[in-house]
Amino acid sequence: MSGPLTTLHQEGRLAAEWPAVRGLLAELDGDDAALLRAGRHLARLDPAEVLAAHPATPAPVVRVTGNGTLAALGPALTAEFARHGLLARVTPSDFGSWVFELGDPGSALYAGLAAATGPAFALCVLDPALVTGEPAPPWRAGDVRRILDEKVTLVERLAEVFAATARGATLVLNTLPLPRELTGQLVDLRERARLGAVWREANARLLRLSRPEVVVVDLDPLIAEGVPAREPRQSVYAKAGLSDALLAAYARETGHVARQAYGLAKKCLVLDLDETVWGGVLGEVGPEGIEAGEGYRGEAFLRFQKVVKQIGTQGVLLAAVSKNDAEPVLRTLREHPGMLLREEDFVQVRANWRPKHDNLAELAKDLNLGTDSFVFADDSAFECGLVRRELPGVAVVRVTEEPALHVERLLRDGWFDVPRLTEDDVARPARYREERTRQDFLTTFDSLEDYLNELGVEVRLAPATPERFARVSQITLRTNQFNLTTRRLQPADVAALAADPGARVLTIASSDRFGDNGLVGAVFLRRDGDTLRIDNFLLSCRVFSRGIEQAVLGAVLRHAGESGARQVRASYRPTARNGKVAAFYPGNGFETVRDGPDGAEFRHVLAGPPPPVAHVRLTADFGDPGLHATTAEQDTP
């Protein structure tokens, strides 16, 4: 279905119609060849032309280097980033310059990353020629070990230079495929086994480089799925050590990394039931007739359920939307002996005969999430197409009539990947189930005020401690609705801010009569002379509309006055997802000093900080009584 995109390209309208590109690529739905063709069209676009027409388009800087020819990577990257709404600005380095580019802090690669205003990425793509071209006959596994040790040590050193130089950027590396051409040269099978061991030990060292600012793409799982590691003629004649297909798969993995950096990871997996979670149509065969657990198809569905349950244990919310009567659906989930997924595994089960996109929209409202936090899996091409059209932010996974392929289809895009899993992630499903109890409690009151008074909201505002840096980073990466500036931070960035004497990183934790909500937000403060600046304010959608945001802001304003500040400054930068907080500061006593398409600046002169929120019990610890002044010039209108 590359036709519409090709037409836009031929008519010179791709830049003007850029917002439609994401949907057109979604329609390709696993057609890798068509996606690559689309990538070639998109790679010819001038990013400046797109940004002139659509200035709010997220446009990450992507610098590409490596030890081989990577001509096929550019179009693949462009397409994969565009699938997530990202306009990749890809710049390749000169052939063979990877050591200089990553090792010299003054290189063009680092200059390009430093010029980026948002997330930026350096891709260092390594291939086996890095090693295979060096041993001279006669050689043995020990000779290859020495070469591998030298090369991996070099990569480790370059990663350290990168971490120290490119603050806020991400380095993407990869493991090295072991070519049969190399192992086959050893006729001693024991020596061949030793070679395999030392090669894998080197790859293990590369994988251990993974940290928030360094991502290592493991190529072995991609090759195990049937992607060829190399094409011999391209490898020999063009110095392309990885096949075009493997570079395309690598680009897909890199697209997932970029999606995380822009806070676009998904939070909720919504499943159809008939022919998706179990075999058969429940309304036709009844609970006793569905396929789950027994028989070859039943075992395939059980395998899918096992994977879904595993995903759910890591903080992903599970929900079901099915065109069925509610009673037999719930009875099946509760009682069927072949089911691994049970009613309690889902935060909601919506079984009715209404359009699925309406159910998804209502589910999003109930969970206080945007529909762009959803992944929807269904076997029906009609339902998938309808959801794509009506709710374009939803990631749609169409599983086929072959249940053995369900797992592959669900996992291929890593929709729920996060840089690091936190305790708050694992606790998330239980907290959303507690939220259902709160909603039921709300229905027993005549007014919201009475409900909030009885809810017993407690808030703890305190400086971020090192064990919380990862969670604070995650909040900046994943919170989109109540996020006033959407500045994304890695744990190292949070640590640097926490160590800055002129700044404060404050965490917001909350609880109520129904349980502990955990760490639900963060406030970033900075002192400039007699001005206290709120660099950003974030709050999880799970705790909206309970007065927490007003209570925290009031505490910040009172602290500002008590610590000698004469004004508090704050800003708002609009995105497609944070419009609901555009009036947050003006609605809480701030005056507008600047307002434009790129955002607004606000000021509070502290003449009368708001009174405490009556139903919220807040404990505030700002650390040092006053933030140390920095040398930054005071910004006054």
Q: Would the pLDDT of 372 be above 80?
A: yes
- Assess whether the region 58-261 and the region 426-620 belong to the same CATH fold: no
Tell me, what's the pLDDT at 634?
31
Query: What pTM was estimated for this model as a whole?
Result: 0.81
| CA separation for the pair 379, 403 (Å, rounded) | 10
pLDDT of residue 624: 66
CATH tag, 426-620: 3.40.630.30
The whole-number pLDDT of residue 633 equals 33
Give yes or no for residue 223 having a pLDDT over 50. yes
Q: Please, which pLDDT band fits residue 629 given cuts at 50, 70 and 90?
A: very low
Work out the average pLDDT over 626-635: 39
Average pLDDT in the 211-235 region?
A: 92
Q: Report the C-alpha gap between 120 and 239 in whole angstroms.
A: 27
Q: Mean per-residue pLDDT for 1-5? A: 67
Compute how many other C-beta atoms are within 10 angstroms of the C-beta atom of residue 182: 18
Residue 346 to residue 355: CA distance in whole angstroms: 20
- DSSP assignment string, 279-345: BS-HHHHHHHHSBSSSHHHHHHHHHHHHHHHHHHTTT-EEEEEEES-HHHHHHHHHH-TT-SS-GGG
Asked if 107 and 100 touch (Cβ cutoff 8 Å), the reply is yes
pLDDT for the residue 369: 86
Instruction: Give the pLDDT confidence score for residue 458 in this predicted structure.
Output: 93
- For residue 428, give the nearest of 459, 461, 465, 474 by alpha carbon: 474
Q: Which two tokens stand for residue 276?
A: 């998706």
For residues 490 and 186, which has the higher predicted lDDT (pLDDT)? Answer: 186
Domain extents in the chain:
1-56, 58-261, 268-411, 426-620
Is residue 383 within 8 A of residue 358, CB to CB? The reply is no
Cα dihedral value 547, 552, 558, 564, nearest 10: -160
Comparing 133-137, 312-316, 323-327, 633-637, the range with the smallest average pLDDT is 633-637
Distance in angstroms (rounded) separating the CA atoms of residues 398 and 385: 9
Contact partners, residue 554, CB within 8 Å, separation at least 6: 588, 609, 610, 611, 612, 613
Determine the pLDDT at residue 453.
Answer: 86
pLDDT-above-70 percentage for the chain: 97
Q: Of 124, 39, 31, nearest to 78 (Cα)?
A: 39
**Is the CB of residue 173 less than 8 Å from the CB of residue 208?**
no
Q: What's the average model confidence in pLDDT over 245-255?
A: 95
pLDDT at 627: 52
- Report whether pLDDT(630) > 70: no
Class of the CATH-defined domain 58-261:
alpha beta
Quickly name the fold that domain 268-411 has: Rossmann fold (3.40.50)
Assess contact for 567 and 530: CB atoms under 8 A: yes
- Dump pLDDT digits (tens) for 546-558: 899 999 999 999 9
Give yes or no for residue 210 having a pLDDT over 50.
yes
Mean pLDDT of all residues belonging to the chain? 90
